Amino acid sequence: MTLAEVKKGDRFEISRINDDYVRVQALRFGISDGASLTCQNKIPGGPVIVKNRLQEIAIGRRLARNIQINLGS
Amino acid sequence: MDCCTITQQMDIPTGTEKIVLAGNPNVGKSIFFNYLTGLYVSVSNYPGTTLEISSGSYRDYAVFDTPGVYGVSSFNDEEKVARDVIISADIVINIVDAVHLERDLFLTQQIIDMGKPVVVALNMMDEAVENGLDIDVKLLSEFLGVPVIETVATSGKGLDTVSESISLARRGNNSLQENQEIYSEFNHLTDEIKDRAEGLLIMEGDSFVAEKNGREPLNYREEIYRIRRRRINKIIDRVVSISQENVNIKTRLGNLMLNPLTGIPLLVVALYLLYQFVGVFIAQTIVGFTEETIFINIYEPFIRNIVNRFIEPGSLFGRLLIGEYGLLTMTVTYALGLLLPLVTGFYFFLSIMEDSGYMPRIAALTDRVLTFLGLNGRAIIPMLLGFGCVTMATITTRLLGSNRERIIAIFLLGLAIPCSAQLGVIAGLIAPLGYKYFIIYIITILAVYIIAGTGLNAVLPGQSTDLLIDLPPLRVPRLKNVFIKTYLKAKSFIIEAGPIFAIGSLLLTVLKETGLLRLLQNWLLPITNWLQLPQDVSTAFIMGIVRRDFGAAGLNSMSLTPEQTTVALITLTLFVPCIAAMMIMVKERNWRDAVYIWFGSWITAFTVGGIVAHII
Position B2 scores a pLDDT of: 40
Domain that holds residue A33: 3-71
The answer to whether A43 faces chain B, any CB pair under 8 Å, is yes
B281 and B228, same domain (yes or no): no
Interface test with B, best of A27, A37, A41, A59 (most B CBs within 10 A): A27
Position B398 scores a pLDDT of: 85
Q: Tell me the pLDDT tens digit for each residue of B3-13.
A: 444 444 555 56
B449 and B500, same domain (yes or no): yes
In a domain, B66, yes or no: yes
Position B525 scores a pLDDT of: 81
Position B452 scores a pLDDT of: 92
The answer to whether A8 faces chain B, any CB pair under 8 Å, is no
Higher pLDDT, A70 or A32: A70
- Mark which of B209, B242, B275 sits at the end of a domain: B242
Q: Cα(A20)–Cα(A26) distance, rounded to whole angstroms?
A: 10
Q: CB B471 to CB A58 under 8 A?
A: yes
Residues of A in contact with B469 (CB under 8 A): 57-58
Contact between B535 and B525 under an 8 Å Cβ cutoff? The reply is yes
Q: Which residue of B has its CA nearest to A56?
A: B471
A20, A43, A62 ranked by CB distance to B466: nearest: A62
B25 and B69, same domain (yes or no): yes
Position B50 scores a pLDDT of: 64
Q: Cα(B419)–Cα(B581) distance, rounded to whole angstroms?
A: 11
A35, A43, A60 ranked by CB distance to B365: nearest: A43
Burial of B57 (0-12, 13-18, 19+ CB in 10 A): middle
Residues of A in contact with B462 (CB under 8 A): none
B63 and B30, same domain (yes or no): yes
Question: For the residues of B508-537, what is the DSSP string, one character each?
Answer: HHHHHHTTHHHHHHHHTHHHHHHTT--TTH
Q: Cα(B370)–Cα(B450) distance, rounded to whole angstroms?
A: 10
Locate the DSSP E strands across B24-143. 42-45, 52-58, 61-64, 91-97, 117-123, 133-135
Residues of B in contact with A61 (CB under 8 A): 367-368, 371
Position B391 scores a pLDDT of: 85
Tell me the CATH number at A49.
2.30.30.90
In a domain, B412, yes or no: yes
Contact between B363 and B34 under an 8 Å Cβ cutoff? The reply is no
3-state SS, residue B611: helix
Question: Considering its fold, how many domains does chain A have in total?
Answer: 1
Q: CB A28 to CB B365 under 8 A?
A: no
Amino acid found at A53: R
Contact between B161 and B189 under an 8 Å Cβ cutoff? The reply is no
Q: CB A46 to CB B75 under 8 A?
A: no
In a domain, B290, yes or no: yes
Q: Cα(B616)–Cα(B611) distance, rounded to whole angstroms?
A: 9
Q: Tell me the pLDDT tens digit for each residue of A9-61.
A: 999 998 888 888 888 888 888 887 777 899 988 999 899 999 887 788 999 99
Complex-level ipTM: 0.93
B505 and B588, same domain (yes or no): yes
| Phi, psi of A56, deg, nearest 5 | -110, 135
Residues 45-64 of A with CB under 8 A from B: 45-47, 49, 52-63
B232 and B266, same domain (yes or no): no
Alpha helical stretches, state H, B467-576: 479-513, 516-523, 525-530, 537-546, 548-556, 562-575
Position B5 scores a pLDDT of: 47
Domain that holds residue B97: 6-242
In a domain, B559, yes or no: yes
Q: Which residue of A has its CA nearest to B71?
A: A28
Q: Cα(B134)–Cα(B195) distance, rounded to whole angstroms?
A: 37
B28: left (phi > 0), else alpha (psi -120 to 50), else beta? left
Position B576 scores a pLDDT of: 66
Residues of A in contact with B204 (CB under 8 A): none
| Phi, psi of A62, deg, nearest 5 | -65, -40
| Phi, psi of A16, deg, nearest 5 | -155, 135
In a domain, B473, yes or no: no
B292 and B405, same domain (yes or no): yes
Question: Considering its fold, how many domains does chain B have in total?
Answer: 2
A20, A32, A58 ranked by CB distance to B364: nearest: A58
Residue stretches of chain B with pLDDT short of 70: 1-14, 48-50, 244-247, 548, 550-553, 576
Name residue B21's beta-bridge partners. Answer: B93
B238 and B362, same domain (yes or no): no
In a domain, B253, yes or no: no
Q: What is the pTM of this model?
A: 0.83
Min Cα distance A59 → chain B (Å) is: 5
Q: CB A47 to CB B467 under 8 A?
A: yes
Amino acid found at B600: G
B273 and B199, same domain (yes or no): no
Q: CB A30 to CB B102 under 8 A?
A: yes
DSSP state of B152: B
Neighbouring C-beta atoms of residue B165, cutoff 10 Å: 18
B198 and B287, same domain (yes or no): no
B604: left (phi > 0), else alpha (psi -120 to 50), else beta? alpha
B160 and B289, same domain (yes or no): no
